[in-house]
Amino acid sequence: MKNTIRIERAIKDMTQADLAEAVGVSRQTINTIESNKYVPSTVLALKIARVFNKPLEEIFMLEDGD
């Protein structure tokens, strides 16, 4: 699963730490999600989408292998 968190953060001018605080996780977690090393739970994915005011599918997309 890939995501556009890095782009969305740049649009909103947010740091990883800002986003981490907004959704209640550590900076490491945001970092690993951005680099596609960790797939977040549905709850966390929904929280992230809510921070960016966008539907989930615009932030997280399935890849061919998924």
Partner 1 sequence: MKNHFLFPYWCRYLGWGLVILHVPLSMLGRSHGMINIMDPQPRDQGIFAGEHLFFISTTLIMSAGLFLVAFAKEKIEDEQIWHIRLDSLRWAIFINYLVLIISLIFIEDVPHMLELNLWVPLIFFIIRFRWVIWRLNQSLKREA
Position 22 contacts partner 1 (CB under 8 A): no
DSSP labels, the chain: -EE-HHHHHHHHT--HHHHHHHHT--HHHHHHHHTTS-PPPHHHHHHHHHHTTS-HHHHEE--TT-
**Residue of 25, 46, 51, 54 interacting with partner 1 (CB under 8 A):** 25
Q: Is 46 in the site for partner 1 (CB under 8 A)?
A: no
Stretch of 28-36, 48-56, 58-66 lying at the interface with partner 1 (CB under 8 A) = 28-36
Site residues (CB under 8 A) for partner 1? Answer: 24-29, 31-32, 35, 38, 40-41, 44
